């Protein structure tokens, strides 16, 4: 092989490597449009795209992981839904724009797949609007209490056998009235294979009893996340029959995954309706006996 040929091949391979590094698949693990909560409030998401670099970055909606999506009057998209973010600037992808770009969706609940052709930071604000209020200011940005989520690189999702801890969660045992705090866990699976997550807790919490979506479960508890699917479950403690009213308590949940799955928790203060996002922290795997 001549020196010229080797040089050309080296340049081509270098360019290919740069393209591979620059293009990135991202997963926003929680996304909503027009979703009504149990108290009548409506939840919707808007996205903030920030480009720190010197070149424009194109961000594309690559898919929706349900969850549910309702398009009573679907519209045809003649182009792939895209936003271009100029260098050193930010762009808002509004809830109304996202609804149109998802095929004129009225409601949607799940996770959002995105693709960027350059370095980008994408955060979302999941906003609570009161019943009867469309939640927008001048028909554009959402207004209300919000909860932030960050789009995660798909290549950085946990892999088979990884153990994660969701710390600083809150629930309310024996509340003697409405619970002061509620915790939900969410899972988004961007792969073509079904995945399994195993929920474990400290022995004393497991022994005291745990409910998932209102049903008593044994710990460890298996949660199935279908291929290209999204699952959210509510965690509650069993009440103690021999105890009186108790204050809210903190706890941690451990998650073992069978493959790439985005994991998050949401803690809601029911008195103020203020939500807090909790992202997992990797931890060293424990043996099964220790996890129980």
What's the CA gap between 227 and 113, in Å, rounded?
14
Q: Is the pLDDT of residue 38 over 60?
A: yes
Q: Which residues fall within 8 angstroms of residue 275, CB to CB, at 6 or more apart?
A: 126, 128, 145, 147, 266, 267, 268, 269
Average pLDDT over residues 189-196: 97
71 and 119 in contact (C-beta within 8 Å)?
no
Domain residue spans in the chain?
A: 21-155, 158-287
Write the pLDDT tens digit of every residue in 141-177: 898 888 999 999 999 999 999 999 999 999 999 998 9
Per-residue CA distances from 146 to 8, 80, 94, 189, 269 (Å): 52, 28, 14, 24, 13
Domain with residues 158-287, CATH architecture: Sandwich (2.60)
156 and 261 in contact (C-beta within 8 Å)?
no
Class at the top of the CATH hierarchy for domain 21-155: mainly beta
Write the pLDDT tens digit of every residue in 41-75: 899 999 999 999 999 999 999 999 987 899 999 89
Helices (H), 25-122: 95-101
Query: What pLDDT score was predicted for residue 8?
Result: 41
Average pLDDT over residues 112-128: 96
> 275 or 133: whose pLDDT is higher?
275
249 and 170 in contact (C-beta within 8 Å)?
yes
Write the pLDDT tens digit of every residue in 234-253: 999 999 988 889 999 999 99
Per-residue CA distances from 34 to 74, 126, 167, 271 (Å): 16, 11, 29, 22
């Amino acid at each position: 092989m001549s020196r010229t040929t080797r040089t050309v091949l080296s340049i081509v391979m270098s360019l290919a490597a740069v393209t591979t590094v620059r293009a990135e698949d991202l997963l926003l693990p929680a996304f909503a449009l027009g979703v009504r909560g149990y108290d009548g409030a409506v939840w919707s998401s808007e996205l903030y795209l920030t480009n720190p670099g010197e070149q424009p970055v194109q961000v594309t909606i690559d898919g929706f992981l349900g969850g549910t999506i309702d398009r009573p009057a679907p519209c045809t998209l003649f182009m792939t839904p895209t936003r271009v973010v100029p260098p050193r600037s930010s762009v808002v992808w509004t809830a109304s724009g996202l609804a149109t770009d998802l095929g004129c969706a009225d409601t949607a609940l799940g996770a959002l797949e995105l693709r960027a052709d350059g370095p980008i930071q994408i955060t979302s604000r999941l906003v609570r609007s009161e019943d009867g209020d469309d939640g927008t200011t001048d028909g554009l940005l959402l207004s209300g209490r919000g909860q932030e989520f960050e789009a995660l690189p798909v290549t950085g999702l946990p892999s088979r056998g990884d153990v994660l801890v969701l710390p600083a969660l809150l629930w309310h045992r024996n509340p003697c009235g409405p619970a002061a705090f509620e915790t939900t866990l969410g899972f988004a699976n961007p792969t073509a294979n079904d995945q399994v997550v195993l929920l474990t807790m400290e022995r004393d919490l497991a022994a005291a009893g745990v409910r998932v979506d209102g049903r008593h479960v044994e710990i460890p508890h298996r949660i199935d996340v279908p291929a290209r699917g999204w699952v959210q479950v509510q965690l509650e403690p069993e009440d103690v029959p021999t105890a009186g009213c108790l204050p809210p308590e903190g706890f941690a949940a451990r998650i073992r995954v069978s493959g790439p799955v985005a994991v998050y928790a949401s803690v809601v203060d029911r008195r103020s309706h203020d939500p807090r996002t909790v992202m997992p922290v990797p931890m060293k795997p424990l043996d099964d006996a220790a996890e129980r």
